[in-house]
Chains A and B, each alone.
Chain A
Amino acid sequence: MRFRIYRYDPESGAGPSMRDYVLDIEARGKMVLDALLALKEQDDSLAFRRSCREGVCGSDGVNINGINALACVTPLSGLREPIEIRP
């Protein structure tokens, strides 16, 4: 699956930008948070908040393809690619 994720490293001096990611993941039954966790294994500089991973705590509120949602309860399947994730 293809992702476009908002990245910003204030120490680099550069402004925020979108970075493209490709992830080999079986979408069925998986959430956007699962994809983010798998992407973090590829690129450990990808930073995001998460805690309960079941839609209770609200830590992983992000903007997914223009809609504000919790990554842990947003299914991957059915999302338009590249899936755009912003803070």
Chain B
Amino acid sequence: MIAKRSFDAVIVGGGGAGLRAADRTGHALLHTLYQRNIAARTQFFDEFFALDLVRDAEGYVLGVVALEIETGEPWLFEARATLLATGGAGRVFRHSTNALINSGDGLGMVLRAGLPLKDMEFWQFHPTGIPGVGCLMTEGCRGEGGYLVNREGERFMTRYAPHALDLTSRDVVSRAIAQEIDAGRGCGERGDHVLLKLDHLGEETIRTRLPGIRELAIRFAGVDPVETAVPVTPTVHYMMGGIPTNLHGQVVTPMRYGPEEAVPGLYAVGECACVSVHGANRLGGNSLLDLLVFARAAGEHMPEYLRDNPYPHPLPKSGPEPALARLARWDKAEGSERVAAIRADMQGIMQNRCGVYRREDSLRQGIAELTEVELRMARAGLDDHSRVFNTARIEALELENLLLIARATWSAHWPARKVAGPMHVRITQTATTTTGCGTPSTFAMGMRSTQSRYDSNP
């Protein structure tokens, strides 16, 4: 049985993805948006998990298949226009500032619908996140006089930025920390972080100037910065790449007539979209641009599209079948591999080999490791086969999306682009590149990783 509803338009995602404590503007936006939706009598389908887009042979997007988490029932939402607002995919890395739900589900849906993603190797790293947890130790810590030290207690920023020291820009500090960790001067059992030293500022300064940071450090790093240095590591923060769109939020793809032809009936806004305004390194505060400008533009364009396309296209025969098959796969046999273990390994590979520094040989080794993880996914199974609130199945479906995104990130490095953006540095045998300006964009596509195709546009 599959429940079916018809809509003029359907919005997939939202629900506070990527919302963060220090981001009061975003918080206020979210509440305003929610209230405006209540006023407009928007019908929410809470606790639904979007599985796949439904697309016909002509390329029209006709809606989505989604899973009702509470009942385990699949639903088909038929709509003349679909807008994806599914947020980022920071959970593809081990250290991320993103929420646990940021698994890039809209990106997975787009890839499975045969559409490409753009600039997927461009991930922004914030230099000082608490390892594992990902909470940010704001730049204000270093602004107040805090500084970074390595395993040997050395204030290493004196070597990387002799003048600006710890107050230099995010990408420089991230690269410096990465170099220290790489050189074996990282701290902790696994040597995977450095320390942010604040205790010399005195309890009074920390209590009055950095109270929130102190609370976060005590809460999430288990150390009081008044006495002990706080572990920090470069932490994935934002995805500059994503679903390619034009200025109206319409998803674009090379189809029949040109390289950026609008996919009829499909829109994407927010972090999941790549309008390309952020280039290879988004500036602080600019993520709201995705919503305030381009989401509004999409909202203004959709009625036009609906007016020009007044009748729904018939659903293709296969309709929701691919999505249902994907769902059924997790209902069946208990596999030898576990979803949590595969996810942890994928996150480790991304973190270690696709981080701030990307060495050619390490990238190549990483893709071999990732291929192995993908093969393990085929042997993965669940113990829980219940229908009601089966979150194990949701996590498995999220991992399917994350693995596609990991593959897309990796593949964007070859053969299209040999240069890098400011947020990561590409190291080849002959040269190190750091500029991304004026370079071609990379596209990654393919429903299955083994049949992926990659391209660059002029």
Task: Tell me which of A11, A28, A48 contacts B391 (CB under 8 A).
Answer: A48
Residue of B nearest to A38 (CB): B340
Q: Is A40 an interface residue (CB 8 A)?
A: yes
Q: Which among A50, A54, A75 has the highest number of chain B CB atoms within 10 Å?
A: A54
Report Cα–Cα, A15/B254, bound state, in Å.
Answer: 55
Residue B92 at the chain A interface, CB threshold 8 Å: no
Are A50 and B388 CB-contacts (below 8 A) given A56-B20, A73-B219? no
Q: Which residues of A contact B339 (CB under 8 A)?
A: 44
Would you call A54 and B133 a contact (CB within 8 A)?
A: yes
Tell me, rounded to whole Å, the shortest Cβ–Cβ distance linking A29 to chain B: 2
- Determine if A25 is an interface residue (Cβ-Cβ < 8 Å): no
* Minimum C-beta distance from A40 to chain B (A): 7
In whole angstroms, what is the CA distance A29 to B425 when docked? 33
Residues of A within 8 A of B220 (CB): 29, 31, 54
Question: In whole angstroms, what is the CA distance A47 to B27 when docked?
Answer: 27
In chain A between 20 and 56, which residues have their CB closer than 8 angstroms to a CB of chain B? 28-31, 40-41, 43-45, 47-48, 50-56
Chain B residues within an 8 Å CB radius of A52: 16, 19-21, 99-100
Within 8 A of A (CB), among B91-124: 99-101
Bound complex: CA A19 to CA B187 (Å): 39
Nearest opposing residue in chain B for A41, CB measure: B340
- Is B448's beta carbon under 8 Å from chain A? no
* Contact partners of B133 in chain A: CB under 8 A: 53-54
Structural contact, B16 and A51, CB atoms closer than 8 A:
yes
Cβ contacts under 8 Å, A56 to chain B: 19-21, 27
SS class of chain B's interface: helix, strand, loop or mixed? loop
Cβ of B414 < 8 Å from any Cβ of A?
no
B226 within 8 A of A: no
Q: How many residues of B contact A (CB 8 A)?
A: 33
Cβ distance B420 to chain A, nearest Cβ, rounded Å: 30
**A75 pairs with B219, CB closer than 8 A:** yes
Report Cα–Cα, A76/B133, bound state, in Å: 15
Beta-carbon contact of A51 and B100 below 8 Å: yes
**B390 partner residues in chain A, CB cutoff 8 A:** 45, 47
The 0/1 profile, CB within 8 Å of A marked 1, for residues 323-339 of chain B is: 00000000000000011
Q: Main SS of chain A's interface residues?
A: loop
A residues less than 8 Å from B382 (CB atoms): 44
A18 to B273, CA, bound (A): 44
Q: How far is the CA of A11 from the CA of B21 in the complex (A)?
A: 38
- CA distance in complex: A41, B101 (Å): 17
Q: Mark B419-452, 1 if CB is under 8 A from A, else 0.
A: 0000000000000000000000000000000000
Q: How many A-B residue pairs have CB under 8 A?
A: 71
Bound CA span A28–B391, Å: 27
Distance in angstroms from B68 CB to nearest chain A CB is 14
Contact with A along B393-436 (1 / 0, CB 8 A): 00100000000000000000000000000000000000000000
- A76 to B388, alpha carbons, bound, how many Å? 29
B222 touches A55 (CB 8 A): no
B182 CB contacts on chain A under 8 angstroms: none
- A30 contacts across to B, CB distance below 8 A: 222
Q: Nearest-CB distance from A12 to chain B (Å)?
A: 8
Please report the C-alpha to C-alpha distance between residue A48 and residue B455 in the assembled complex, in whole angstroms.
41
A30 CA to B223 CA, complexed, in Å: 11
Q: What is the distance, in angstroms, from B70's C-beta to the closest C-beta of chain A?
A: 10
B383 & A54 in contact (Cβ 8 Å cutoff): no
Residues on A with beta carbons closer than 8 Å to the beta carbon of B100: 50-53
Q: How far is the CA of A30 from the CA of B132 in the complex (A)?
A: 11
B331 → A minimal CB distance (Å): 13
Q: Give the complex CA separation of A75 and B21 in angstroms.
A: 18
Who on chain B is nearest to A30 by CB?
A: B222
Q: If the complex has contacts A40-B340, A44-B339, are A51 and B135 also in contact, measured as CB distance less than 8 A?
A: no
Q: How far is the CA of A11 from the CA of B387 in the complex (A)?
A: 8
A-B residue pairs in contact (CB < 8 Å), sample of 26: A9-B386, A10-B388, A28-B222, A29-B220, A29-B222, A40-B391, A41-B338, A44-B340, A44-B382, A44-B383, A45-B390, A47-B391, A51-B100, A52-B16, A52-B20, A52-B21, A53-B133, A54-B133, A54-B216, A54-B220, A55-B21, A56-B20, A57-B16, A57-B99, A73-B219, A75-B219
B-contacting residues of A (Cβ < 8 Å)? Answer: 9-11, 28-31, 40-41, 43-45, 47-48, 50-57, 73, 75
Q: For the complex of A and B, list the 5 residue pairs with the smallest distance between their C-beta atoms, beginning with the closest.
A: A29-B222, A44-B392, A45-B384, A52-B99, A47-B391
Instruction: A31-B220, A51-B15 given; name 15 further pairs at CB < 8 Å.
Output: A9-B388, A10-B388, A11-B386, A29-B222, A30-B222, A40-B340, A40-B391, A43-B383, A44-B395, A47-B392, A50-B100, A53-B134, A54-B21, A56-B19, A56-B27
